[in-house]
Amino acid sequence: MRKKNSKALTEQQAQEQILNIINQQTQEKTQETTPAIIQTTPQQTEDNKKVQLQEQAPENAAGGKIVETKKPETNKKKQIEPSIQKMFDKMIAYMVDKGCSTKETPAYTGLKCGRHNIAEIYLQKKGIRLHVNSQSLSAENIDLCKVVPDTYGWTLDCIYKVTDQQTYDKAIEILEQGFVFRNKGIDING
């Protein structure tokens, strides 16, 4: 406990020494600049000392004062290309016209046929990503998709990316296959 008190005294003594030095410097400056002596009240000198302590800026090794500059804010976030946005809207509208319902989430738009999801459509900066059921696809279209491992347990386990008009046409074909797969009637006779 004694160490805290002695430390507090040394800090207080250091502050008093700084104030004394500043006071001496201000007196020297006032004697050089003005021949007449201006008397100030003790309260004014204390306020001046506090202001001077606050005004002193740290100096770097070169001797200049450190000045903080604010950099202009830049928007690093890339916007979605208008052509990609147009394809996305067109794709959703086409599937809704066929009879699907949509489920909007912040991450994706789900296409449902009855109770089942037939696709999840993700709008990205450089393209559109489709997640579809691999059971609904033809062998040709499965080769175009990336199939995720079975250990993931995803029902919509094929990923297809749309970046241009050619891949867009194939994506519509893939979505139609998913729609037909979910809409086909159940045959009881086998």
By the 10 Å C-beta count (0-12 exposed, 13-18 middle, 19+ buried), 120 is classed as buried
Tokens representing 121 are 């459509």
pLDDT above 70: residue 64: no
Task: Give the span between the Cα atoms of 136 and 182, in whole angstroms.
Answer: 8
Element housing 132 (H / E): strand 128-132
Tens-place pLDDT, residues 128-175: 999 999 999 999 999 999 999 999 999 999 999 999 999 999 999 999
Q: What is the DSSP string of 80-110?
A: PPHHHHHHHHHHHHHHHHHT-EEEE-SS-EE
Task: Give the span between the Cα atoms of 172 and 62, in whole angstroms.
Answer: 66
Tens-place pLDDT, residues 88-137: 999 999 999 999 999 999 999 999 988 889 999 999 998 999 999 999 99
- pLDDT at residue 72, rounded to an integer: 66
- pLDDT at residue 90, rounded to an integer: 94
Tens-place pLDDT, residues 73-87: 666 667 888 999 999
CATH of region 82-183, choose from 1.10.3210, 3.90.1150, 2.40.70, 1.10.3470: 3.90.1150
